Structure 1
Amino acid sequence: MSEVTDLTVIEIKPEQAPVLYAPNGLDAFLEQIKQEVNEVPDLSTAKGRARVASLAAQVSRSKTAIEKPGRDYLKRLKELPKEVEAELRRFVTECDTIRDETRRPLTEWEAEQERIAAENQMLAWHEEALEMNSAFNAAAKLNFETDHEMALLMDAAFDRDAAEKAAEAERQRIAHEEELKRQAAEQAKREAAEAAQREIDAAAARERDATLAKERAEREAKEAADLAERNRIAAEQKAEADRKAAAEKAERDKQEAIAEEKRKAQAEADRIKREADEKEAARLAEEKRIADEAAARAANEKHRKVVGTEIVSALLGHTSLTREQAIEVLVALKDELIPRTRITY
C-alpha cells in the first residue's frame, strides 16, 4: 500500500453557496472525497485498521463541513421572501407618500386657479350687467320725452336680456360648482379606490405571508421529522459501529497481547541463544589463542635452535673452540653477558 495521507480539509465560503447548493453543484466534492478514500488498507494490521477508521471519520468531517454552511444558506433563503415582501411594502408606501407630497403644491395651485377663474368670471358677468344697465339708463334718459314707448320696450328687452345673462351666469356658476363637486367626488373616489387597493394589496401580502409561514412551518416540521429520523438511524448505526469497534478492539487487544507474549518469548530465546553463541565464540577464541601462542612459542623455539646451531657451527669453523666451548659462548651471547653483542633471531 502506498504512503497514506490525510484528506484535504474542505471549507465552504458564503459567496460560493449559490453555485454549490444547486442541482449537481456538490458533485466535485463527492468526486474529491471518493478519490481521497480510494485506498485498500491492510486489515490484518493494526495500522491498516486504524487507517480505515480514520478515512471514514474524515468523510464524516467533510460531510459536516459541507452540510453546515448549506443548512445556514437554506435558512437564509427561507427568511428572504419575508424580507423582500416587507421591503416592497415599505417602498410602495414611501413612493405613494413621495408622489402625493410632490404633487401637493400643484394640486393646491390648480384648486386656487379654479377658484380665481370662477371669481373672475362672476365679476365679468357682473360688470357686463352693470355696463348694459348704465347704457340703457342713458338712452332712456335722452329719449324718454320723445319716445317713452320705445324706452319702455327697450327696458323690457334689457330686463329680459339681463335676466337671461344673470340666469346664464347662475347656471354656469352652478355648473362650475357641480364640476368642482364632481372633481372632488372623483378625487375622493380615486383616493378611496387607492386606499381600497392598498388594503387589498396589504391583505394579499398578509395572506401570502400567512401562506409562506404555513409552508415554512410545514417544511420545518418535515425537516425536523427527517432530521429526527436521520439522527435515530445515525444513533443506531453509531451504536452498532461502536459495538463492532469494541469487539474488534477487544480482538485486536487479544491478538496484540498474544503477539506481545510471543515476541517476549522469542526475545528471551534469542537472548539465551545469543549468550550461548557468545560464550562458545569466546571459548573457541580462547582455545585458538592458546593454540596460536603454543604454536608461536614452538616456532620461536625452533628458530632459536636453528640460529644457535648456526652460531655454534660458525664458532667451530672460524675458531679453535671445542663444541662445548662454542656452546658456552652461545649461551653467554644469548644471555647477553658479553657487552656490545646480541643475537638477532
Structure 2
Amino acid sequence: MMAAEDIKDLVVIEKASVQEVFLHRPTLDGILEQIRAKALSIVPDLSTATGRKNIASVAYNVAKAKTYMDDLAKERVAELKDLPKQIDESRRYMRDFLDSLKDEVRQPLTEWEEEQARLEAERKAAEEAAALAAKIEADHELALLMDREWEREREEQRQTAIRAQQEREAEIARQAAEQARIEAEQRAEAERKAAAQREIDARLAAERAEQERLAAEQRARDAEARAIREKEEAEERARQAAIKAEEDARLAAERAAAAERQRQENERLAAEAEQRRREADKEHRAAINREALADIQKLGIPEDLAKGIIAAIARGLVRHITINY
C-alpha cells in the first residue's frame, strides 16, 4: 500500500510548464489520471481508525493538489493576460475533476459514516423506546398506587367534610345566637340613645322657643322705638321745611321789593336823563336858531320876519333847505 503523504509528489509542476499543462488538455489529463491512480491505489480500510484516517488524508491531499494546481494556474493567468479564457476553462475542468475525484475517493468513508450515523440513530431510538416502555410501566404502577391513595384521601376528605359541615352548622348556630344577643343589646342601646336624644331635642326646642319669644319681644321694642324715632324725625323735617319755606318766602319778598325799588329808580333816572337830554337839545336848537336869526337879521330882515322864516325851515315847510342842529 502506498503512503498517503506521497500523493503530493505527483503534483509537482515546474512553473515553466504550467502554461503547457493547462493549454494542452492531454498533458493535464495525464497529470490528473496519475493523481487519480495514486489516490485510488490506496485500499480503503474502514475497520480501523488508522485506515479511516488514511482515507481522509488521501482525500485531503487531493484537495491540496487541487489548490496547488489552481494557484499555479492563477499565477500563470496573471502573467499571461492574453490566455485567461482558455486557462480559466482548464481551471474549471480541473476543479470539477478533482472535486469529483475527492468525492469518489471519500465515498467509502462517507458511506461508512452515514451507516454509522444510521446505526447510532437506531441505537438511540431503541434506547429511547426501551426507556419509554419502562417509563410507561412505571407510570402505570404509579397510577395504580395513586388511584388507591386517591380513594383513601377521598374517604378522608369526605369524613373531614362531614366534620367540617357539623362544625360549620354549630358555628352558625353559635353565631346566630351571638348575633341575636348583639342585636338585642344594640336595639336597647339605640332605644336608650333615642330617648336621650328626644329629651335633648325637647330641651333644645324649649330653649329655641324661649329665644324666639325674647327675640320677638326685642324686635317689637325695636320696631316701636324705630317708629317713634321716625315720627320725630319726620316732624323735625316738616318743621325745618316750614322754617325754610318761610325764610325762602321772606327772602323772595325782599328780593321782589328790592327789584321793584331798583326798577323805579331806573325809571326815575331814565326820565331825568331824558328830561336833561330834551332840555339840552332844546337849548342846543335854541342856540342854533338864535345864531341863524342873528345872521338873517344882518341881511336887513326884521326880527319877526326872520323868526317866521327860521320856524318855517325847522318845520320843513321850505323845500331844499334844512337847519343842521
TM-score category of the 2 structures, normalised to the smaller one: 0.3 to 0.5
The structure that has the greater radius of gyration is 2
TM-score relative to the length of structure 1 = 0.41
TM-score relative to the length of structure 2 = 0.43
